[in-house]
């Protein structure tokens, strides 16, 4: 084998290795020698979602009295509007900056920093001062998320759930591409009127016990690119170059045979 053939083989092997992304950079939830999660605090983390200002909630007052039911729920015309996202948004209650929603007759009721069951019970207790035999249904009307970067379907999503974690959000966007940096996923979150940036490592299985694992409504998730894409390896014409090298080697071998 002459030097030219050896050089061609080295180039082929180099391109092949460069174009491959190691599996350790693609597998979620691995064992990590140095985890960023403080496992000593795992048992103290409360993962139950607490309502906060700007959350939108769907509230339905149930009563055996048809007039009471129609008054608080806006009649059948209002209920029929829930068939669309816009109708759901327009007929939901937005928690104010002071943590309250305002209901007919009952007035303002403070429900922020409560989970859904606590808020439902509070509203039901307040309404029982004015009405008899009532019960309340309370849900988050939209868990809005924005997912950007190296995912297959970036965009803004509003799944009908009361809680969602980062793995479910990634699945909602069709999973990350092969060039998504699973080790450094950015979450942009508003807390107390200020934007905060959190980074989580989805390669670390201890993230399941982290307080950052569960998302909050209106979170923005950004998946950065691995260096392989930054350097242009994603669009590099590997097939063309490899086929050209193979053809070149074949031609050179043929020439030597003829000689």
In CATH, what number does 23-47+143-230 get? 3.10.560.10
Residues of each domain in the chain carrying CATH 3.10.560.10: 23-47+143-230
> Over 80: is that where the pLDDT of 163 sits?
yes
Which residue(s) pair with 93 in the sheet? Answer: 57
The model's confidence at residue 39, banded by pLDDT at 50, 70 and 90, is: low
174: left (phi over 0), alpha (psi -120 to 50) or beta: left
- The architecture of the domain spanning 56-140 is 2-Layer Sandwich (3.30)
Select the more confidently predicted residue: 244 or 65: 65
Residues of each domain in the chain carrying CATH 3.30.1950.10: 56-140
pLDDT tens per residue across span 72-90: 776 555 545 545 566 666 6
pLDDT of residue 178: 87
pLDDT tens per residue across span 136-159: 999 888 788 999 999 999 999 988
């Amino acid at each position: 084998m002459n030097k030219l053939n050896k050089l061609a083989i080295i180039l082929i092997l180099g391109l092949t290795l460069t174009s491959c992304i190691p599996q350790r950079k693609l597998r979620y939830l691995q064992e990590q020698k140095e985890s960023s999660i403080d496992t000593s605090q795992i048992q103290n983390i409360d993962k139950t979602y607490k309502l906060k200002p700007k959350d939108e909630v769907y509230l339905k007052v149930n009563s055996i009295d048809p007039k009471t039911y129609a008054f608080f729920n806006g009649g059948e015309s209002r209920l029929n509007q829930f068939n669309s996202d816009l109708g759901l948004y327009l007929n939901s209650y937005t928690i104010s900056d002071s943590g309250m929603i305002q209901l007919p007759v009952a007035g303002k009721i403070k429900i922020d920093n409560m989970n859904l069951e606590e808020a439902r019970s509070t509203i039901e207790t307040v309404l029982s001062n004015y009405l008899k035999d009532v019960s309340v249904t309370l849900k988050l009307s939209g868990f809005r998320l924005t997912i950007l970067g190296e995912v297959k379907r970036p965009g803004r999503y509003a799944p009908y759930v009361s809680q969602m974690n980062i793995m479910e959000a990634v699945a909602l966007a069709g999973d990350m591409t092969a060039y998504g940096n699973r080790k450094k996923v950015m979450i942009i979150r508003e807390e107390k009127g200020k934007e905060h940036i959190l980074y989580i490592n989805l390669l670390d299985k201890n993230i399941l016990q982290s307080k950052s694992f569960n998302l909050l409504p209106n979170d923005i998730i950004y998946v950065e690119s691995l260096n392989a894409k930054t350097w242009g390896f994603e669009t590099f014409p590997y097939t063309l170059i490899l086929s050209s090298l193979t053809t070149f080697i074949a031609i050179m071998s043929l020439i030597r045979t003829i000689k």
